[in-house]
Chains A and B, each alone.
Chain A
Amino acid sequence: MLKNYFKIAFRNLLKNKIYSFINIAGLAIGMAATILIGLWIYDELNYDSYFKEKDTIAQMFQHESSNNVIGTGPAIPRPLEFAMREEFADNFEHIIMSSWNYSRYIGYGDKNINVTGNFMQEGAVDMLEINVLEGDKNSLEHSNVIMLSKEIATTLFGSENALGKMVKINNEHTVKVTAVYEDLPENNSFNGLKYLMPWKFYVATQEWVKNSKDSWGNNSFQMFAQIKDNTTMETVSSKILDIKKRNAPEEAEFNPEIFLFPMKDWYLRGDWENGVQTGGRIENVWLFGIIGTFILLLACINFINLSTARSEKRATEVGIRKSIGSQRGQLIFQFLTESFLIVCLAFAFAVGIVILSLNGFNNLASKTIEFPWASGLFWILAIVFIFITAVLAGSYPALYLSSFNPVSVLKGTFRAGRYSALPRKILVVTQFTISVALIIATLVVMNQIQHSKDRPAGYDKEGLVQIPVMSSEFTGKQDLMREQFIASGGATYMTTTSSPTTSVWSNRGGYTWEGKPEGFQENFAHTTVHYDFVETLGLKLIKGRGFSRKFATDSNAVILNKTAVKYMQIQDPVGKYISAENPDSDMIPLKIIGVVDDMIVQSPYTPVKQAMYVFESYGNISYYNLRLNPNNSVSKNLELIENTFKTNFPNIPFDYQFVDEEYGQKFRSEERVASLARVFTALAIFISCLGLFGLASFVAEQRTKEIGVRKVLGASISQLWILLSKDFITLVVLALVIASPIAYYVMSGWLQKFPYRTSVGWDVFAIACIGALIITLITVSFQAIRAATANPVKSLRTE
């Protein structure tokens, strides 16, 4: 019986090639999109699954409030470690102090490469189950050693044995390679861990780290932990909550609360707002999950519409089968079998499409997803997916077709009833509602990104280059280098900064000033800078002046941004002083010499933070910032700068970044969402149009005779074209009317998460509406015009 059904299904497919193509292509594209989204979601949900202990690993996080706003983050002070070990050691399998993920130069022979990694305490290897391929698993217990990932070991030593090799770190320290570990995959939070060095070494070699042993106020470190199996994150969190407050009463005014942030939340739920976890990437998972479902739904709607539209052709078969003994259930089963077959075929094509497009998709989504050939789970889900799709697409046609009365069908008087097209119309409206809503949503996302890109950055990002100079060989060379860079003609200005132009590495408080409100808990973005800061960055001075060599006192001067002035509630700031709140402090009061316009350093979606730019006098220099010479080409400038650099630092690789590119990184994640959304919206439109095309050809075929008669009676081609197209246009207009308010509502909500945001303007709707109408017209007109221009004599004779 099944064989008989399959035979019929196959022959039907072959007989109606256009119809089959539309059905299978639509379903295949829809399924491919859904599979890609499914793989993407799976990858997102399995971020950090490399770590078998994912459920028991956590990072220490801290809430701190100032001016009644709670900030949350991973930075913790060093003494927390000692208190934690003393008071709560028995709750933990591991407590591990760690540095941030920094890049350092690792040199061997004439190679010197820039590598990111961490300094961590012993136990890290055990906790993260880092797979040590050769050498000592317990390397971190020692001091002058380094563990390298396989990739880095191969880059440095080629096929030579890495163990026992001596390498230079930042051209300063020589350490021994004592272990090589398997590279960590991309989709985990430690993917930047390409070397591992002992925490001990960090403390021993970095003066400021050594000195921070008792500084509860110096939140400059990270701490990871693995809890014991017999306890939970919540229990431990509740125990350690007040550990900092108890041990450091002087910090109590910020109400510091320490808690465990579980690894399973790191990637997906990493957003905090005023002390409350507010989500994160999980929202994109939902977003694309919904889009994927919609696209599949669109493809199923095509199937449903085309099957029911063609029902008159299948009606006779239903009548015959009923008259020779088929029950309705058997017919339902037959039609479901048919949709199952088509869905299976479509799935095979979908797999092909996925394989062909996976590379491009990975680029777009910046992922490294591979097709899961060997995954049993995937194939089980695939079978479930095929069944769901087959039932979704096939149920309605099966119920509808099997319901025909054999007598009326076989009498030949069968005409699908007057309202039989209604469900079809509703489905077309649904399809276009979804497509149009997706168009509007994508446009709003793109607008928001453009809007934020157009936001004045407050400085001149173009022609600005930064060179990281954190190793000690650069110490004290900044004035010499400035002279040489400018003399080389490659740069017109240079200044130094303690953090890159595109982020804030230090936030500070503990100041006072004339007119400071009672109990005000200030917190400034704190950057130390040098002469020509204003000129190099192209900042706009609102009041006062920049740092100048003409004023010896500028070594104790500060420049504020506009927001800081408002924030401090200080009148006529220029000439006033900012001094330490603590009267015992030896900090020399800072004279405010100027106010600059706000410059976007952090997120382009949020208001600019109050910032102070303090004159550099302690050698805290992380970057040289150079304004390229506008009279030369960029490449010429870079050549001059590199030559100058090389003459002075022959052993250090010349590393630099364009500030505008770094700035562009801030839009990366939104742009990624936007480009994925664009692709899937295009697919949704394509699938909907494919269905519309099918319906249009069906209607044109059905009305061939009518068109012939009208033509003989004198109807013009354009009249016939309008006749055949207007029904579809009406449906799409209806879809526009439904989609617009829904999209408006949803996208206004989405925009709320960006403090700096665009509005959902009428232009977005205009573009979406006109676009949808044009596409619809093109799609249906093809069939309409073909039918309208056909020779009427021919079509009438076939009756």
Chain B
Amino acid sequence: MANTLLSLNEATRTVNSGNNKVTLLDNINLQVKEGEFISLMGPSGSGKSTLLNCIGMLDGFTGGGYTFLGEPVHSMKEKNRSKLYKEYIGFVFQAYHLIDELTVWENIETPLLYKNVKSSERKGLVADMLDRFNIVGKKDLFPVQLSGGQQQLVGIARALIGKPKLILADEPTGNLNSKQSTEIMELFSQLNKEGVTIIQATHSERNASYGSRIINLLDGKIVSE
């Protein structure tokens, strides 16, 4: 029986847009166990990204409870929250979001800097990661010199470098062709087999099928599992 990684209990997010209150996420109840591979599906605007961002603690729920590894995130101070996600969560974005001014090596290294990992150790970790993703030859290139697929590989490498328990991927293949997409999804399933929990948002049925569980969102509500 796997441990519960996180659970959402009637989690809600509302924002004020002008005079009206807009509900972006509506009473979400969700349990995620370690080792799961979840695909969030739903039409554009249904709240997938919002949910991922809130789970990733970049945004906050405005109501309900959010527990991560037994800790109540909703009542946590900013500082502790940041410590938590720095330690356990890695992000992968549709638009890769690499830092343009840094090389491949430096991009992958950056999260370690924020975790105060020692220089010698950093070198080893980054080198291993480059090895594993077969991009050693590209380590001194800047993002603009890479293809989209390669950039996303670097993005994933960067998300993985801190050995997170959870990877949040927001349409990770949205900007890629089908061959590159397949590579990335294969990689995800490989990672999942190694024990990393993954939640991805996707439009594609094919991509969703890599997951162990599919959740459908509509207008900020979970409509089916």
Residue numbers in B under 8 Å from A15 (CB-CB): 101
Report whether B95 and A412 are in contact in the complex, using a CB–CB cutoff of 8 Å.
Answer: yes
Report the minimum CB–CB distance from A402 to chain B (whole Å). Answer: 13
Per-residue interface assignment for chain A, residues 7 to 19, with 1 indicating a CB less than 8 Å from any chain B CB and 0 otherwise:
1100110010000
Report whether B114 and A330 are in contact in the complex, using a CB–CB cutoff of 8 Å.
Answer: yes
CA distance A410 to B91 in the complex (A): 12
- Kindly identify which residue among A4, A320, A327, A407 contacts B98, using a CB–CB cutoff of 8 Å: A320
Report whether A12 and B101 are in contact in the complex, using a CB–CB cutoff of 8 Å.
Answer: yes
Interface membership of B97, Cβ < 8 A: yes
Given contacts A8-B99, A8-B101, A12-B101, contact A323 B110 (CB under 8 A): no
Report whether A324 and B91 are in contact in the complex, using a CB–CB cutoff of 8 Å.
Answer: yes
Report whether A323 and B56 are in contact in the complex, using a CB–CB cutoff of 8 Å.
Answer: yes
Interface membership of B68, Cβ < 8 A: no
Residue numbers in B under 8 Å from A7 (CB-CB): 101-102, 106
- Interface 9-residue window, one of B1-9, B26-34, B79-87, B178-186: B79-87
Given contacts A4-B110, A8-B102, contact A325 B58 (CB under 8 A): no
CA distance A135 to B159 in the complex (A): 83
Interface membership of A461, Cβ < 8 A: no
Report the minimum CB–CB distance from B85 to chain A (whole Å). Answer: 7
Given contacts A15-B101, A320-B99, contact A327 B113 (CB under 8 A): no
Report whether A406 and B58 are in contact in the complex, using a CB–CB cutoff of 8 Å.
Answer: yes
Given contacts A7-B106, A325-B162, A327-B79, contact A407 B99 (CB under 8 A): no
CA distance A411 to B45 in the complex (A): 13
Report the tally of A-B residue pairs with Cβ distances under 8 A: 62
Interface residues of B in 148-171 (CB under 8 A from A): 158-159, 162
CA distance A600 to B86 in the complex (A): 81
Interface membership of B66, Cβ < 8 A: no
Report whether A325 and B102 are in contact in the complex, using a CB–CB cutoff of 8 Å.
Answer: no
Nearest CB in chain B to that of A12: its residue:
B101
Report whether A4 and B106 are in contact in the complex, using a CB–CB cutoff of 8 Å.
Answer: yes
Report whether B95 and A323 are in contact in the complex, using a CB–CB cutoff of 8 Å.
Answer: no
CA distance A268 to B56 in the complex (A): 66
Per-residue interface assignment for chain B, residues 195 to 206, with 1 indicating a CB less than 8 Å from any chain A CB and 0 otherwise:
000000000000
Report the minimum CB–CB distance from A252 to chain B (whole Å). Answer: 81
Interface residues of A in 310-325 (CB under 8 A from B): 316-317, 319-325
Interface core residue of B93, B97, B109 (most chain A CB under 10 Å): B97
Interface membership of B111, Cβ < 8 A: yes
- Kindly identify which residue among A12, A324, A411 contacts B110, using a CB–CB cutoff of 8 Å: A324
CA distance A323 to B169 in the complex (A): 12
Report the minimum CB–CB distance from B190 to chain A (whole Å). Answer: 22
- Kindly identify which residue among A317, A322, A330 contacts B58, using a CB–CB cutoff of 8 Å: A322
Interface membership of A713, Cβ < 8 A: no
Nearest CB in chain A to that of B113: its residue:
A1
Residue numbers in A under 8 Å from B91 (CB-CB): 323-324
Per-residue interface assignment for chain A, residues 112 to 126, with 1 indicating a CB less than 8 Å from any chain B CB and 0 otherwise:
000000000000000
Report the minimum CB–CB distance from A231 to chain B (whole Å). Answer: 62
Residue numbers in A under 8 Å from B82 (CB-CB): 325, 327
Interface membership of A752, Cβ < 8 A: no
Interface membership of A326, Cβ < 8 A: yes
Report the minimum CB–CB distance from B184 to chain A (whole Å). Answer: 19
Report the minimum CB–CB distance from B111 to chain A (whole Å). Answer: 5
CA distance A323 to B90 in the complex (A): 8
Interface membership of B67, Cβ < 8 A: no
CA distance A326 to B58 in the complex (A): 11
Nearest CB in chain A to that of B97: its residue:
A320
Interface residues of B in 51-98 (CB under 8 A from A): 53, 56, 58-59, 79, 82, 85-86, 90-91, 93, 95, 97-98
Interface residues of A in 9-52 (CB under 8 A from B): 11-12, 15
Per-residue interface assignment for chain B, residues 126 to 162, with 1 indicating a CB less than 8 Å from any chain A CB and 0 otherwise:
0000000000000000000000000000000011001
Residue numbers in B under 8 Å from A412 (CB-CB): 95
Interface membership of B49, Cβ < 8 A: yes
CA distance A528 to B97 in the complex (A): 91
Report whether A410 and B93 are in contact in the complex, using a CB–CB cutoff of 8 Å.
Answer: yes
Nearest CB in chain A to that of B85: its residue:
A325
Interface membership of B115, Cβ < 8 A: yes
Residue numbers in B under 8 Å from A322 (CB-CB): 58
CA distance A411 to B113 in the complex (A): 25
CA distance A7 to B105 in the complex (A): 13
Per-residue interface assignment for chain A, residues 383 to 421, with 1 indicating a CB less than 8 Å from any chain B CB and 0 otherwise:
000000000000000000000001100111000000000
CA distance A11 to B103 in the complex (A): 11
Report whether B99 and A325 are in contact in the complex, using a CB–CB cutoff of 8 Å.
Answer: no
Residue numbers in A under 8 Å from B101 (CB-CB): 7-8, 11-12, 15, 317
CA distance A173 to B27 in the complex (A): 112
Per-residue interface assignment for chain A, residues 531 to 545, with 1 indicating a CB less than 8 Å from any chain B CB and 0 otherwise:
000000000000000
Residue numbers in A under 8 Å from B93 (CB-CB): 323, 410
Residue numbers in B under 8 Å from A319 (CB-CB): 97
Nearest CB in chain A to that of B87: its residue:
A325
Report the minimum CB–CB distance from A400 to chain B (whole Å). Answer: 19
Given contacts A407-B58, A410-B97, A411-B49, contact A325 B106 (CB under 8 A): no
CA distance A105 to B55 in the complex (A): 95
Report the minimum CB–CB distance from A755 to chain B (whole Å). Answer: 63
Report whether B58 and A323 are in contact in the complex, using a CB–CB cutoff of 8 Å.
Answer: yes
CA distance A322 to B58 in the complex (A): 8
Report the minimum CB–CB distance from A31 to chain B (whole Å). Answer: 26
Residue numbers in B under 8 Å from A11 (CB-CB): 101-102
Interface core residue of B95, B100, B159 (most chain A CB under 10 Å): B100
10 more A-B contacts (CB under 8 A) besides A407-B59, A410-B95?
A7-B106, A11-B102, A316-B97, A320-B97, A321-B99, A321-B110, A323-B56, A323-B97, A325-B86, A327-B82
Question: Would you list 23 pairs from A and B whose C-beta atoms are within 8 A, ordered by A residue?
Answer: A1-B113, A4-B110, A4-B113, A11-B102, A15-B101, A317-B100, A317-B101, A320-B97, A320-B99, A321-B99, A321-B110, A321-B114, A322-B58, A324-B114, A324-B159, A325-B111, A325-B115, A327-B79, A327-B82, A327-B114, A406-B58, A410-B97, A412-B95
A contact set with B: CB distance below 8 Å:
1, 4, 7-8, 11-12, 15, 316-317, 319-327, 330, 406-407, 410-412
Give the top 5 A-B pairs by smallest Cβ distance, nearest first: A325-B86, A325-B114, A11-B101, A324-B111, A320-B97
